[in-house]
Amino acid sequence: MPEAPEVQTIVNGLKSVIVNTTVTNVIFSENTEDIIDGNSKKEFLDLVEHYKVLEVVRRGKYIDIFVDSGIHIVIHLLMTGQLIYKNNQDEDSRPKYLRVVIQFDDGSELCLADKSTWVKLATIMDNNVKDDSRFTKLGVDVFSEDFTENAFKEVLSSRRAIHSRLLDQKAISGLGNIYVNEVLYYSGIHPKRQSKSLNNSEAQALYFAIYYVVREALKHRGTTFSDYRTPDGSTGQYQNFLRVYQRAGQPCFRCGTILEKIKVSGRGAVFCPHDQPEYPGKSQNNIRDGNAKQYSFDIHNNENFIFIITGPSSVGKTTLSRQMAKHIPFLKLVPTVKTRNKRPGEIEGVDSIFVSKDTFEKMQQNGDFLIFGQHFNHWYGTQRRLLENTLISGNDVVIIVSPEGAKEIKAQYDNSFIICLITSSEDQLSKRIYERNDYSVSDKKKRESYKKGELDQSSYCDHVITTINELQTLHEAFKYVYKIRCATY
């Protein structure tokens, strides 16, 4: 069944060709009485013939063609329906399984075809549309401005399995089984998880997965496996970018574990047993080790990404990287090797590895570092092995480096993205520097002198976040990570 991206693709295609044309004739094939919902053929003709098309919109999975008689022609394609536009009335070029043809005054026609005869064609008076049961029962639409994080939290307030809840058009409108499988994969959520059991981070991941996946699918004009066609008769292309749907028995693109298929309330769900655990917190290593096929990752250009955090001193890079690793699924913080003393709050082995200058020099000579450099008389380095092993293990990397180091990594890895943190003004950055208790007076003066140059370096970055508070900064980073993850390249 066409889902929101497919139906929106059809609507977008029809808007550009049938708006402002006039319906001149409607041709029905034999045995089409069941297709017309609530009208006879004659009643349908009387309501739409000789009237101009004013607008074409999508309502959930329905296509709504509004004509100036005050009538909405509402079409539901169900499982196998097609709506094909032709700019001529050449009968030989019409699609197979033709059920209805709507002809227009410019010589074009709209062909409704369906090999199963399940499609529905209805007419609704304009003043009855808002109260029609087809639409009043629809939940918030995934393409609507009303689809906000707060609205989505209401969707999750249910005991139903999350897979079933997302398919419920009364809860959230526009998702079908293809996209539900995909968004649960991107957010790391098992299809059988109870909706209300999701924590705030999981809910946010799922929200952004839905937000970006449907938009990427729309960009590619939907997904075609069998019957769905765009108005010009071509297929959608998003099937080329699906991560789990119809891939049971194949390796997970992220970690290599074999994907499994289960039934949830009678519907098929494909998922990665390693990345989408049914019981969060339970170790999944045994699942992956015992169920993973040999899967070759290209660490320089693969499904897992490197998110590089850079920016001026005291802008909040360490805080953000820790929060990203804590709250965003499949994201691990790779610690930086440092020769300076440990500061209060720094965690050995998590965001920092502290070594002597001699040890650092030996590591450098052994080629351990992907990048290294000196800053304020101390040496800093990123270990290649730690970064690449994190990618191979099926995770994204978040790492803090200097602007120069960010450029070096970006040049080596196509799957890397630079996030630059800045403050709203130089004065704001100065205030943060002087509020630090772990800087000496001389350090504060040095960092203060560099602030303008550091704030001006954001032009080389892929994304810039102006930090206001910790919650807002994490939210912006969360959104950007999912934009990159769900993007099609």
Tell me if residue 267 is catalytic.
yes
Closest CA to 81 of 194, 183, 160, 1: 1
As a whole number of angstroms, the distance between CA 294 and CA 458 comes to 40
As a whole number of angstroms, the distance between CA 9 and CA 432 comes to 48
CA 406 vs CA 26, 317, 459: distances in Å: 62, 13, 12
Q: Quote the strand ranges of 29-118, DSSP E.
A: 36-37, 53-59, 62-67, 71-76, 81-86, 98-104, 109-114
Catalytic residue from among 6, 58, 59, 61: 61
Cα four-point dihedral sign 483, 318, 150, 465: negative
Tell me if residue 293 is catalytic.
no
Residue with tokens 């997965």: 209
Residue with tokens 């990159």: 484
CB neighbours (10 Å) of residue 343?
Answer: 14
Beta pairing, strands 36-37 & 120-125: parallel
In angstroms, the first-to-last Cα distance of the chain is 26
E strand or H helix at 436, and its extent? Answer: none
As a whole number of angstroms, the distance between CA 86 and CA 395 comes to 48
Residues forming beta bridges with residue 399, ordered by sequence position: 308
* DSSP 8-state code for residue 33: T
As a whole number of angstroms, the distance between CA 67 and CA 24 comes to 12
Task: Give 16: exposed, middle or buried? Use CB within 10 Å, 0-12, 13-18, 19+.
Answer: exposed
Tokens of residue 339, six digits:
């020769």
As a whole number of angstroms, the distance between CA 87 and CA 106 comes to 8
Catalytic residue from among 115, 267, 384, 436: 267
Tell me if residue 15 is catalytic.
no
Tell me if residue 388 is catalytic.
no
Residues catalogued as catalytic: 2-3, 61, 267
